[in-house]
Amino acid sequence: MPVARHVLAVSALALAAACTPVERPSAPLDAFAFPTGIGLSDGHLLVVSSNADLTYEDDKGGSLLSLDPDASLANEAPAFTGGIRIPSFGGTLVVADPVACGLPSGPEALFASRLSGDLYRVPVGANGSLTCGQGCTVNLAKPGEGDPLSVTLACVDGRPKRAFVGWRRSRVGTSCDPNASSTETCAIISEVTLDGAVSRVSTGPVVFNAGSIQAVQYDATTDLLFFATSGSHVGWIDLSTGCGLAPTDLQCSRQAIDLGQVARGAAARNVALATPVPGVPRRLYALARLLDPNAASVGIEVQIGGALIVLDLELNSLGTITARPIRTVPLTTGVSEMLVLPRAGKRDVVAITAVDDGEIWFYDDELGAVTGVLARGPDGVPLAGLGPFAMASEDRGGGVVRLYVTAFHGNEVTVLDVLDLDDPDPLSTPPGVMVVGKIGG
Amino acid sequence: MNVRRTSALLALAVAAGCGSTKTTLPVMFDQPAGVAVFMGVTVKNAGIHPYAAVANGAREDLTLLDAIDDKPVLSPILLRALAVVTHPLAACPTCAPRPGRLVSGSLHDVDGLGQSLQKADLLGVLIQGSPVMQVVRTWNEDNQMVDELELDLSGYAPGSDVVFAVTAPVPDATGAPVPGKVRVIFALTGRRLVVAEYDRDPGDGEGIVPGPVTVQDLDFQPLHLAVAEDPRLVYAATLDEVPVGSGRHGVVELDASGTPGTWTEDLLDARAPTRLVAALDVGERDFAVNSVDVKGTEPHVPRVYAALDTSGCGPAFEIECGIVTIDPAPGVRGIVPDPLGELPYQPPMRIPASPLAMVPVGLPAQTPDTWTPGTTRIHTSLGMRDTAAVLAVAASDGRIYPVDLSRRTLLNDQTMLRDIANSSTQTRTRCDGVTTLVDPDSTSTLEAEVCTLADPGTACTPVADLVNAKDEVIVTPGYTFTEIFSTVWQGVLPGLGGFGFGHVDTPVGVKAMTLGVGGKLRVAFQTPSTLGYTEVVRVFDPALGVRRGDILQLATFNGNVAPGDPASLAACEVDVPVDETRTIWPWNIDTHDYVVTDILPPDPVEYPGGALVVDDDGSPCMAALMAGATPRASVRAAGWVLSGGNVGYAGRPAVVTAPDDPNVRIRVELRYSDQDAADKDCPLAPWPANPETVVCDDDCRLRCENRLISHLTRRWYTMADQCAEDTGCRDRWGNGADPFPNKKGPVVQFEFTIREDDLQGVPQPTLNVERDLGYRVSLGGGHSPTAFYPTQYVVWPADLALFDKSPWNVNASTRFYVAYMGDEVYDFSPSEPINVPATIR
């Protein structure tokens, strides 16, 4: 959801509160409220609710809920196995594997709260129970300093186990290079060590005058941390040299490219790495919303459509990476999240949610084209739910991939089975994708 | 209505009155995904009439526009545009069948006398993401989908998706269209085509009935299709090698003279994979004559146009990116020869952004009396240009580029040749300025002066000042591109480190690692990492320009050490006090120069980019380096080096001092040489998967450098400008009385001399030229491509459709409807000024 809408919501609420004080309840632990993050841990589905309209109180209006998805579908009612209340405006969720990330207490659900500026590290019990005790929160941003949102994990053998958190908004000059001018903005990423007794946090700017960070994505194969800014840039940081993000650390080398040079009006939204293919350059998927540049010049954001920009990353003779645009695929408005679905012997399929139009698009990178769209039914209701946003996947065997999709406006999780990755289209005969059911709502 | 559309309307309101385009009725498109022009019947007009159909990609309908007045066909309630609704699909009745690409085509009807008869066209609607095409009832006012004509290709090619589709006449044995028939050729995933025929309904003579459907298996994956004017030939763009393993790429010609399913394939070599294709018979200007005129009497010859795919074109590849002109005639079967006889092919027509769609058009049915017979027109900022054909190319920057097919070029909105009178700013190909590169701290008594053009090969006649010096730099239209070139004595090779101007005001060099082996020091440009090494500079790659004999400069810090930088090496400290006057980089840097005695190929374990070797000088510093260190390093040329701000290394200018000249004279010259020969001679380009096995001695490395420069100097533009009556122009380009300079020229060429101040004429055989002395020249290519585009929402032109409006309005000529993702359709003609087109919303 655009920050502007948050601001409006908060302002309206503040005005209302000033006139007629209203006690707002804490978040329910048996329902979703504007879910933004989703993940799977040992068969348990984890869902972060953001309380985006502040129906519930600020500090305890969000939630992290766990549930048994199969039982939920079978019973046609959510089978919750755990839940905690958290501050509002929780973000994307990742699940840390205890072995890979050196977590003796078991898997953790990690997400950030934009309201409190904390990174949450919530242990997930074998039965799906959730607890938030000592060390559960790691403060990244002071009040008003910024709002951490996107999270990615870097848990690789022989290397420090870390989480990286991108800040969706950062005040001009805050934590920027002290030499930066007062008009420069900086994109901030925090680095949090996971395997120590105490989380160590280092925070630093990664790129100037490129807006803030929309998404972060670590790639273990290259030890590169990729990010998408709220401007038109995607970039990457080379973490392989023992460097760090804090200004006092040995500085990491970093690069960024301007998607606006590839597709006019492109505003970066998300970034994902393709499954490596031996013998050919590594491939990067960059998701962008297409904005009208003329309207932007008068301060109006007019979203025209979306695009998936496919880039080949090639090491050049000078030891840096050349990002070569391979193709740009037109998409609809409101494109938000991406999930890479690997295929044996072929390039990936990429699932893309479009929150505005309520759609899920499937891009086939072998073919270089969209091969399926889960759109609306004849009644106008999106088959993927109202406002499909975050996704998690599960291999169900037999070539079936199950997708769990949060419906931001529908306060539910839509469950889809992709039956044929080569033709993930509900319009094919037989259908390549079908809605299995809904949880919540 | 969502936020996007509300904002869009708001922006439209803001923008109202700002643009030069006119806005017609609010049609309310929704993400147009396809557009097609067809002849048909609607409630808006009596009888057969031309319409443009627009697929609303975010809804489940089409909008129909009257192609004569650009107003929508209204629904029966007359309050909104008619919605031609797509039908739910049997495979998923609950899914929204959203229209994507549209196809339309005439059935080439004739009357009893064999005379052409205008009846309703076929209008097909491809449903996004499905293998289904629905057909609109164009032959009566119902205008809804015809269930009986819905074609589900999954019955013919299970598991396939439609990649592209195009209509074509059904040819007879002579290539003439069979009356009452049309075919749709579908390019499908899984390397196949499906050809579906449609016939005029023999019952009522007006409707359309389905004909046979046939599968054509292919040996390649088609991405885009075009049908020649002779419909017995169909062309397909593909990324694949054809045949497999041949290493050849291009456009596949399908001989469609036989029954579908028996079509044969043959490659037209485009030297790169292709993404879009078009075909047309074109009257081209006579390239053998030194004139850009198109007279309208030129014979029309078959041509195929292909947009090259960026995966296989560009500076490092055999060919630059752009649109190539292909001659399918026997004996050529590839890109047309270079009219100048210089390159092995005519250079591609360079489009400033990625082509998304392209449609060719020849002559309109009717032309105004004032037009040259046999021509159409392209409007540019320099006036109208006559031509026989135009290729409209929709690009990712939102613009539509009208390529002049008669001249095989993208026209220019500014002159490349002529001076603009009474202006200090010129648009032509030019040198904008020459600046000296002199260290302000230098105490050298040397002077550098640019020589006049009047005395090549002889003693230099210095140009009086730098303002005039820019006129002594030779540039060539079509070759010279916008760039800043530097020519420097012992300059740092591009990307290989370097000291800021003034020596030490900026961080230095590239991270390097040293190690002594066999009494010699090996230096690799790399950084240890969790993956072995990162930031690996391939010093073995000749494209970087390192040669034996060059200068390796190792830098260590003394005094304070830069934060976190391990480059301090006590043994290498020299007794230089910290320079307190330097505030930006307060650490003193000790530099140590060595001569590169060898360039080692990569060692996958120790130095994956190769290593430079220097001899042991016996110093304590060398001993420390031999033990293993991580200094910063730079590589400087042993002599003069030329580099561009964008293109990087560009070779080594030659010293051309005449035997009796006491001064040193240098010639900078970037000139094309045979790229095919150069391509064959370099085993390191492209960079191989196993470079450690490649042997490349000094001669080999020079050949590789030649390849690099050969690619760098390829002509990039085919001239379409001329000097007219500007005699200064003719003198400038050396074309005498000829109005059209058609010469092969350098990208840049000039000469300068170095001499001892106040000692001109006194022999100075050992001039001690100071490092980094030289010149910088700023060049302008002079190309501002002609383009058409709306004033608002210039984002993502998804599709183009051609309409010849001249039978209804002779001045309207041939035009294009462009479906923009931003809920608008742009109607323009290349022959109209840019403020005439209409934006329909």
Lowest mean pLDDT among A222-226, A239-243, B352-356, B515-519: A239-243
Residue A159, Cβ neighbours under 10 Å: how many? 15
* Spatial distance between the Cα atoms of B329 and B323, rounded to a whole number of angstroms: 18
CA distances from residue A144 to A116, A117, A165, A174, A178 in whole angstroms, order as listed: 9, 9, 17, 10, 19
Q: Provide the pLDDT confidence category of residue B282 given band limits of 50, 70 and 90.
A: very high
* Nearest residue to B446 via CA among B456, B436, B455, B433: B436
Distances in Å between the alpha carbon of B542 and those of B460, B697, B708? 33, 10, 9
ipTM of the complex: 0.84
Q: What is the mean pLDDT of residues B496-510?
A: 54
Task: Give pLDDT tens digits for A332-385.
Answer: 899 999 999 999 989 999 999 999 889 999 999 988 888 888 988 767 789 999
**B147 touches B137 (CB < 8 A):** no
Residue A174: pLDDT band with limits 50, 70, 90: low
**Residue of B7, B95, B632 to mutate when probing chain A, most A C-beta within 10 A:** B95
Overall average pLDDT of the B49-69 stretch: 95
Residue B540 has pLDDT above 60, yes or no: yes
Chain mean position to CA B689:
27
The answer to whether the beta carbons of residues B774 and B488 sit under 8 Å apart is yes
Q: Report which of residues B423 and B748 the model is more confident about.
A: B748
CA B151, B155, B156 angle in degrees (round to 5)? 95
What is d(CA B743, CA B722) in angstroms, rounded to the nearest whole number? 13
User: Across the A/B interface, how many CB contacts are shorter than 8 Å?
Assistant: 213
**Residue to substitute from A223, A238, A427, interface B, most B β-carbons within 10 A:** A427
Q: What is the pLDDT of residue B530?
A: 86
State how far residue A283 is from chain B, nearest Cα, in angstroms.
Answer: 12
Contacts of A291 in chain B (CB under 8 A): 795
Query: For chain B, how far is it from start to end, CA to CA, in angstroms?
Result: 15
Band (B767; pLDDT cuts 50, 70, 90): low
Total residue count of chain B as it appears in this document: 841
Under an 8 A CB cutoff, do B536 and A315 touch? yes
Q: Does residue B801 come out as left (phi exceeding 0), alpha (psi in the -120 to 50 range) or beta? A: beta
Quickly state the pLDDT bin for B826 (edges 50, 70, 90).
Answer: very high
- pLDDT, tens only, A128-170: 999 998 889 999 988 778 889 999 999 998 888 999 999 988 7
Q: What is the mean pLDDT of residues B558-570?
A: 54
Q: What are the structure tokens assigned to A17, written together?
A: 């509160």
Q: Does B16 touch chain A (CB under 8 A)?
A: no
H helices present in B387-492, as ranges: 466-469
B389 by DSSP, 3-state: which? coil
pLDDT of residue B452: 81
Query: Is A384 in contact with A414 (CB distance < 8 Å)?
Result: yes
Burial of B183 (C-beta count, 10 Å sphere; 0-12/13-18/19+): buried
3-state DSSP assignment of residue A49: strand
> What is the model's pLDDT at position A8?
45
Please check whether residue B561 touches A, CB under 8 A. Answer: no
DSSP state, residue B544: G
Beta carbons of B776 and B435 less than 8 angstroms apart: yes
Provide the pLDDT for residue B123. Answer: 98
Measured CA distances, B819 to A80, B3, B31, B456 (Å): 48, 21, 8, 56
Buried b (16+ CB within 10 A) or exposed e, A286-310: bbbbbbbbbbeeeebbbbbbbbbbb
Type of residue numbered A214: Q
**Distances from the Cα of B673 to the Cαs of B706, B747, B779, B790, in angstroms?**
8, 12, 21, 42
| pLDDT tens string B371-384 | 999 999 999 999 99
Express as a percent the part of chain B with pLDDT over 90. 64
- pTM beyond cutoff 0.80: yes
Distance from CA of B821 to the nearest CA of A (A): 6
What one-character-per-residue DSSP string does B493-518 give? PTTS----TTSSSS--SEE-EEEEET
* Cβ atoms B819, B841 nearer than 8 A: no
Asked if B131 reaches chain A (Cβ–Cβ under 8 Å), the answer is yes
Per-position DSSP letters for B24-93, written without gaps between them: -S-----SEEEEEEEEE--SSSSSSEEEEEEEETTTTEEEEEETTT-PBPBPTTSSSB-EEEPPPBTTBT
Touching A: B residues 327-356, CB under 8 Å = 353-354
Q: Give the separation between CA B606 and CA B598, rounded to whole angstroms.
A: 16
How far is residue A157's CA from residue A316's CA, in Å, rounded to a whole number? 27
Distance to chain A for B788, nearest Cα, Å: 15
**B543 contacts A330? CB cut-off 8 A:** no
Give the pLDDT confidence of A74-98 residue by residue, as tens digits: 999 999 999 999 999 999 999 999 9
Sequence-ordered alpha helix ranges (H) in A36-111: 69-75
Share of chain B above pLDDT 70, in %: 88
Nearest-by-Cβ selection for A427 from B2, B129, B792: B129
- Average pLDDT, stretch B482-509? 73
Cα A275 from Cα B671, distance rounded (Å): 43
Q: Answer yes or no: do A333 and B159 touch at CB < 8 A.
A: no
Q: How many CB atoms lie within 10 A of CB B823?
A: 24
Please list the residues that pair with B642 across neighbouring strands.
Answer: B487
Answer whether B95 sits within 8 Å of A263, measured CB to CB.
no
Average pLDDT over residues A26-53: 96
Do the chains contact at A427 and B92, CB–CB below 8 Å? yes
Contact criterion met (CB < 8 Å) for A279 and B95: no
- Which pLDDT tens digit goes with each residue over B719-752? 888 887 666 888 888 766 666 667 788 999 999 8
Q: Indicate which of A157, A255, A258, A292 best probes the interface with B, i.e. most B CBs within 10 Å of its own CB.
A: A292
Q: Over the stretch B137-189, which tens digit does the pLDDT of each residue have? A: 999 999 999 999 999 998 898 878 899 999 999 999 999 999 999 999 999 98
Are the Cβ atoms of B543 and A302 closer than 8 angstroms?
A: no
Asked whether the predicted pLDDT for residue B504 surpasses 70, the reply is: no
Percent of chain A scoring above 70 in pLDDT = 91
Peptide bond into B243 cis (omega under 30): yes
B299 prior amide bond cis, ω within 30: no
What average pLDDT does chain B have? 87
Distance, in Å, from the CA atom of B218 to the CA atom of B724, rounded to the nearest integer, reads 51
- Choose, out of B4, B29, B127, B823, the residue to mutate when testing the contact with A (most A CBs < 10 Å): B4
* Alpha-carbon distances, residue B696 vs B601, B651, B684 (angstroms): 8, 18, 8
| pLDDT value of residue B379 | 96
Band the pLDDT of B766: cuts 50, 70, 90: low
Block residue for tokens 């042993």:
B638
- Structure-token match 């009556």, residue found: B725
Name the more confident of B833 and B429.
B429
Which of B823, B804, B822, B820 lies closest to B812 in space, CA to CA? Answer: B804
B604 in contact with A at a CB cutoff of 8 Å?
no
Q: How far apart are CA A164 and CA B659, in angstroms?
A: 66
Closest C-alpha among B834, B836, B839 to residue B788:
B834
Residue B122's CB: how many other CB atoms inside 10 A?
A: 25
Query: Rounded CA gap, B469 and B452, in Å?
Result: 8
Per-residue confidence (pLDDT) for residue A253, from 0 to 100: 87
pLDDT value of residue B288: 85
- pLDDT digit string, tens, across residues A89-127: 999 999 999 999 999 889 999 999 999 999 999 999 999
Q: Report residue B21's pLDDT band, with 50, 70 and 90 as the boundaries.
A: very low
Average pLDDT score over chain A: 88
What is the Cα gyration radius of chain B?
Answer: 32
Q: What is the 3-state secondary structure (H, E, C) of B696-754?
A: CCHHHHHHHHHHHHHHHCCCCCCCCCCCCCCHHHHHHHCCCCCCCCCCCCCCEEEEEEE
| Cβ atoms B121, B135 nearer than 8 A | no
pLDDT at B561 over 80: no
**Which of B58, B153, B38 is closest to B100 using CA atoms?**
B58
Question: pLDDT class for B560, splitting at 50, 70, 90?
Answer: very low
Among A219-228, A240-249, B305-314, B534-543, the range scoring the smallest mean pLDDT is A240-249
Between CA B606 and CA B485 the distance in angstroms is: 35
Distance CA B477, CA B538 (A): 34
pLDDT higher than threshold 70 for residue B441:
no
Q: How far separated are the first and last CA of chain A, in Å rounded?
A: 19
**Residue with more model confidence, A279 or B216:** B216
Q: Determine the pLDDT at residue B506.
A: 44
Q: How far A433 CA sits from the closest chain B CA (Å)? A: 10
Instruction: Read off the pLDDT of residues B654-710 as tens digits, 9 standing for 90 and up.
Output: 988 877 777 788 999 999 999 998 888 899 998 998 999 999 999 999 999 999 999
Q: Which of B663, B354, B129, B359 is nearest to A262 (CA)?
A: B354
Residue from A155, A323, A241, A253 nearest B531 by CA: A241
pLDDT at B166: 98
Q: Please, which pLDDT band fits residue A45 given cuts at 50, 70 and 90?
A: very high
Cα separation, B96 vs A292, in Å, equals 27
In this prediction, residue B725 carries a pLDDT of: 67
Residue B554, pLDDT score? 87
Chain A residues with CB-CB distance to B530 below 8 A? 156, 158-159, 223, 239-240, 242
- Between CA A190 and CA A148 the distance in angstroms is 8
Q: Which residues of A touch B312 (CB under 8 A)?
A: none
Helix (H, G, I), strand (E, B) or coil at B607: strand
Angstrom distance (rounded) from CA B237 to CA B228: 14
Region A189-215: mean pLDDT is 82
Counting beta carbons within 10 angstroms of the beta carbon of residue B552, is it exposed (0 to 12), middle (13 to 18) or buried (19 or more)? buried
* Confidence band of B769 (pLDDT split at 50, 70, 90): confident
Record: contact B4-A356, CB cut-off 8 A:
yes
pLDDT in tens, B290-336: 778 899 999 999 999 999 998 899 998 999 999 999 999 999 999 99
- Per residue in B188-222, pLDDT tens? 988 999 999 999 999 999 999 999 999 999 999 99
Residue B2 has pLDDT above 70, yes or no: no
pLDDT at B389 over 60: yes
Q: What is the pLDDT of residue B740?
A: 66
Helix (H) or strand (E) holding A139: strand A137-139
In degrees and rounded to multiples of 5, residue B643 shows phi and psi of: -145, 155
Please say whether the beta carbons of A49 and A409 come within 8 A.
Answer: no
